[in-house]
Chain A
Amino acid sequence: DVKVTQSSRYLVKRTGEKVFLECVQDMDHENMFWYRQDPGLGLRLIYFSYDVKMKEKGDIPEGYSVSREKKERFSLILESASTNQTSMYLCASLGDGFNQPQHFGDGTRLSIL
């Protein structure tokens, strides 16, 4: 089974801090994704990457950046955290092959105070 591991289940940070969310997958997948999930808004795509050092903006990239230095690891960075970035953050990976399913981590619930 594919394993997608997010480094923290819960995280509390302060406004203005630089925040790193880490995600690791163990299936050699090319594609990785970061989403945020908010009540009433569903999942929204922040950034995705289809290869090492490659990144693409999703629907809501403002205030975020990403890093993909190794195939198995995809990091989401909040450059200067703000309270409206309090959310559940979900990482996913996707292998090659047309229309394969995405595999999700358990999420990081981030609170910005």
Chain B
Amino acid sequence: DAKTTQPNSMESNEEEPVHLPCNHSTISGTDYIHWYRQLPSQGPEYVIHGLTSNVNNRMASLAIAEDRKSSTLILHRATLRDAAVYYCIRSVGADGLTFGKGTHLIIQP
């Protein structure tokens, strides 16, 4: 049970921002939100993670709702290379990760 809910697929145009939503309404106070993505024929790749406040790195931004029941991964300017399956995951400690089905992001040129 991934305990997160994401849309099955989303479509965006190249060079436009993309907002990928995730609901995690049963999240506990110590759960971090992690985002990974998986390109075809590759292993999952870490994108970003956070606990309470918004986070930015070279790949993306993560906006976490004040009540922590949802979050949004933001790709500021999508490229064709961003086409992948994006997974939103609750993570605590050193246990294995539980991946749901993720969001299949399609980028149109």
What is the size, in residues, of chain B's interface with A at 8 Å between Cβ atoms?
Answer: 24
**Residues in chain A near residue B34, CB distance under 8 A:** 99, 101
How far is B45's CA from A96's CA once the two chains are assembled, in angstroms? Answer: 18
Mark contacts of A81-96 with chain B using CB atoms, 8 A cut-off: 1 yes-contact digit, 0 otherwise. Answer: 0000000001010100
Measured CA separation A58–B96 after assembly (Å): 8
Q: Please measure, in the bound complex, the distance between the C-alpha atom of A45 and the C-alpha atom of B2, giving whole angstroms.
A: 12
Q: Check A64 for interface membership: any CB of B closer than 8 A.
A: no
Which single member of B42, B45, B49 contacts A99 (CB below 8 Å)? B49
User: Quick one: which of B42, B49, B92, B96 contacts A101, CB cutoff 8 A?
Assistant: B49
Give the A-B contact count at a CB cut-off of 8 A.
Answer: 56
Q: Which of B61-94 contact A (CB under 8 A)?
A: 91-94
Does A107 contact B93, Cβ atoms closer than 8 Å?
Answer: no
Is A94 a contact partner of B49 (Cβ separation < 8 A)?
Answer: no
Q: Which 6 A-B pairs have the closest CB atoms?
A: A104-B43, A45-B96, A101-B46, A43-B99, A99-B32, A42-B99
The 24 listed contacts between A and B (C-beta, < 8 Å) are A4-B43, A30-B94, A40-B101, A42-B2, A42-B98, A42-B100, A43-B44, A43-B98, A50-B94, A58-B96, A90-B43, A92-B43, A92-B44, A98-B93, A99-B34, A99-B49, A99-B51, A99-B93, A101-B46, A102-B97, A106-B41, A106-B42, A107-B42, A107-B43
